[in-house]
Structure 1
Amino acid sequence: MKNLKKTFRWFGPDFGVALSDIKQLGVEGIVAACQEIPLGEVWPLETIASLKKEIEDHGMEWAVVESVNVHTAIKYGLPERDAYIANYKQTLKNLAANGIYVVCYNFMQLIDWTRTNLDYELPNGASALHYDPIAAAAFDLFILKREHARDSYDEVVLKKAQDYFEALDDAARQRLEKAILAGMPGSRKLIDLDEFKKNHSLVLEIDKEQLQDNLAYFLKAIIPEAEKLGVRMAIHPDDPPFSVFGVPRIASNYEELKFVLEACPSASNGLTFCSGSLGASADNDLVKIVQDFGDKIHFVHLRNVTRLPDGSFYEAEHLNGSVSMEKVMKAIVQEQRKRHLNGKGEIRIPIRPDHGHVLLDDKKRMNDFYSGYSLIGRAMGLAQLSGLEKGIREGLKIGGTA
């Protein structure tokens, strides 16, 4: 039985990592997107073809699109959403015409993911991404200044958030704001605070059930087209998997993922399994999610987090953290075996190391990278995961070839 397909996310040459660098890591597939196309517009055939050729010229394939982002009009159920859904369908057609069939996307509100520190120093001197609920509350209360924000926190958190914020100097306050408004992956442009406030006010008027209805509306429009094209849509879980700044989550746990899959049952309606996003909550049983939804997992992100008693977490080494990566990898390999035996689904599930520490020589050029996407840290993660996969296959007596 064949191994998992090793992939690596690439944001283009402006983000510190070249395709020639990635090729040296033994990677087969690239995870990329046409990032220069404005949100909601159709990705032209020629733009897709050009990026695909650039990747193939380096001896790799464009294995997964991450992401064809979903316009806010669709997420918020605005009148113009049907026009953006039509554009989304055309982009899927253009991707399929270029032989690209796996599309990762998310339905997160406001921003793709939330961290409060993009350069959290670890005991060994490397740095990682970090989320601190007190820092997030301080941003909410004193920078975002959300109306009725105080109602979201108890008195202990309110006091800690105030003390935390008052202890920050101007530079530290700017770092906190920058960390949270870091923007979309692959962009160095910060989200404008006023625009963030405007979108935030809008989404706060929409409850969880309506957001789920908006997602179901999108899926019922998109999935039949994806099915005809042979495209596999893979929603990414919310990150972190709990409410931030009063905004509901709708893809953060077992029941919510079940809702997504049942909203439009189809082999084309599936998941991006992200062990880091889901693993940031101790309530999520990652192995059960793989076992129960395995046939709908079209793409895998593997990273680890260390959850701390105060509710914070930081991104740990891939094999050392609160997530049992051994159990997760075993469940994924067993899902492969199921597919091999029943002849259903892609056996070589694309998998990539997600995020990575900044360490060694990468510390000299950390400003070149998009946060979380250093070269050496992810390369180390890929090596660790590849070794883990091989060891599990040996233990289960399952062979594997590329």
Structure 2
Amino acid sequence: MKQTWRWFGPKDPVSLLDIKQTGATGIVSALHYIKNGEVWPIDDILKHKITIEDAGLQWSVVESVPIHEDIKTRSGNYKTYINNYRISLQNLAQCGITTVCYNFMPVLDWTRTSLDYELKDGSKALRFDVTAFAAFELYILKRDGATSSYSNEEQEAALLYFKKLSEAEITKLSNTIIAGLPGTEEGYSLEQFQKVLNTYSNINAEQLKINLVAFLKEIIPTAAENNINMCIHPDDPPRSILGLPRVVSTEADFDYLVQEVPNKANGITFCTGSLGVHPDNDLPKIFKKYADRIYFLHLRNTLRDAQGNFHEANHLEGDTDMFDIVSEVIKEEKRRKSIGRSDSQIPMRPDHGHQMLDDLNKNTNPGYSGIGRLRGLAELRGLELGIYRNLI
């Protein structure tokens, strides 16, 4: 696997020099300062690329070129934003960057209810708590129609949870959910959040799927012409939230996208965390089915319970058998190499590491502290080497 590391730019607490010391050789990054929907200029792309290369690293994957909400709802200026997206892809290709990760999650990108869930060893992890999220939706945001999303028992549990929160805890929970996590391009106030939710009032899962396919049919030909592999990221969490549909959560969702847009430029970011949270997903089966169009790997592990709560586990622990996944990755890389594919080495990054050791006393991006991801990368590197040596 091509060992990569996510870098959020010059303001990232984990510097390029730090990343180089981890042993990673590739960088996963984006131009976060460019407003959603605007064109990524060649000069800006090249400047970012040169900064990375001057540190002795390679800009391997763009994560992400964000999709404007107008595209997802096919309203407003969506045609202009789609054209801008095409131009950005062409500009990236001219700069030699040909792997683009993106997602189609409405309003919120990935979200959690806690950024500092303390584990037994004293390290801190990201967590999604169903009751906490219900308390936010029902009693803080007070979303119209929210009660229909929860049973009476869930509403009662959420109310009890809410009543125990202080004002500071209410603010913290709200900010955690809607202020934007690393990699998201937009954050909201409560008022702004409700307003943008309203734009999806007439869009159900079926309509969002149609909108996604329409977007892909418009941009995948441009990607293919420029030898760009587009890699859609699964929903995180893979469940409907805030009345918003999620349409990239299961094997059936991938089946639909590939059936409707079979071009090989229409690829997948295989995120073991996002897919692993859904109890019905058979990750090795999904990987084998779509191995030839998996162009990017997010390797992380989660631990879930029967109620749908989950937190980020250590990379080799949790509900996903990482041995099985990495074994399949190595088999696919060997297959690609045997037929002469130029992308035989699949970019992989360790994802959502724990806050631990010295990083407990530092300001870090939630899920993206240095030491936790370093531990994950080291574990994954060792696992890969052991499997590879055994296979040959």
**TMscore range, shorter length:** over 0.9
**Distance of 2:207 and 2:57 partners within structure 1:** 41
Unaligned ranges ≥5, structure 2: none
2:9 alignment partner in structure 1:
12
| Residue 51 of structure 1 pairs with residue 51 of structure 2 | no
Give deviations 1:290-312, integer Å, cap 9, x for gaps: 00000010100000001123320
CA RMSD across the alignment: 1.3
**Distance of 2:263 and 2:367 partners within structure 1:** 33
**Distance of 2:201 and 2:267 partners within structure 1:** 27
1:71 alignment partner in structure 2:
68
| Residue 317 of structure 1 pairs with residue 310 of structure 2 | no
1:347 alignment partner in structure 2:
344
Give deviations 1:87-112, integer Å, cap 9, x for gaps: 00000111011000000000001111
1:153 alignment partner in structure 2:
150
| Residue 297 of structure 1 pairs with residue 294 of structure 2 | yes
Contact map agreement 1:111 1:184 (CA 8 A) in 2: no
**Distance of 2:183 and 2:270 partners within structure 1:** 21
1:393 alignment partner in structure 2:
388
1:85 alignment partner in structure 2:
82
| Residue 376 of structure 1 pairs with residue 376 of structure 2 | no
Question: Number of matched residues?
Answer: 392
How is 1:113-128 mapped onto 2 (pairs within 5 angstroms)?
A: 113-128=110-125
**Distance of 2:140 and 2:38 partners within structure 1:** 32
Q: Assess, with a 3 A threshold, how the Cα gap between structure 1 residues 41 and 189 changes in structure 2: closer, same or farther.
A: closer
Residue aligned with 1:204, SS:
coil
1:138 alignment partner in structure 2:
135
How is 1:88-237 mapped onto 2 (pairs within 5 angstroms)?
A: 88-183=85-180, 185-186=182-183, 190-237=187-234
- Aligned-pair distance for 1:190? 3.9
Unaligned ranges ≥5, structure 1: 398-402
- Aligned-pair distance for 1:15? 2.5
- Aligned-pair distance for 1:187? 6.6
Give deviations 1:129-173, integer Å, cap 9, x for gaps: 000001111111011211121111111111100000001111111
- Which moved further from structure 2: 73-82 or 247-256? 73-82
Contact map agreement 1:188 1:370 (CA 8 A) in 2: no
**Distance of 1:128 and 1:13 partners within structure 2:** 24
| Residue 248 of structure 1 pairs with residue 253 of structure 2 | no
Give deviations 1:38-86, integer Å, cap 9, x for gaps: 1100011100000000000000100000000001010011142111000
Match of 1:308 among 297, 305, 309: 305
2:25 alignment partner in structure 1:
28
Q: Assess, with a 3 A threshold, how the Cα gap between structure 1 residues 99 and 17 changes in structure 2: closer, same or farther.
A: same
Contact map agreement 1:219 1:263 (CA 8 A) in 2: no
- Aligned-pair distance for 1:243? 1.0
Per the normalisation by structure 2, the TM-score is 0.98
Q: Assess, with a 3 A threshold, how the Cα gap between structure 1 residues 188 and 215 changes in structure 2: closer, same or farther.
A: closer
Q: Assess, with a 3 A threshold, how the Cα gap between structure 1 residues 103 and 189 changes in structure 2: closer, same or farther.
A: closer
Per the normalisation by structure 1, the TM-score is 0.95
- Aligned-pair distance for 1:189? 7.2
**Distance of 1:199 and 1:87 partners within structure 2:** 22
**Distance of 2:163 and 2:268 partners within structure 1:** 42
Contact map agreement 1:295 1:345 (CA 8 A) in 2: no
**Distance of 2:73 and 2:150 partners within structure 1:** 26
- Which moved further from structure 2: 266-275 or 189-198? 189-198
- Aligned-pair distance for 1:188? 9.4
**Distance of 1:293 and 1:192 partners within structure 2:** 39
- Aligned-pair distance for 1:340? 2.1
2:359 alignment partner in structure 1:
362
**Distance of 2:115 and 2:201 partners within structure 1:** 26
**Distance of 1:187 and 1:37 partners within structure 2:** 12
**Distance of 2:175 and 2:368 partners within structure 1:** 17
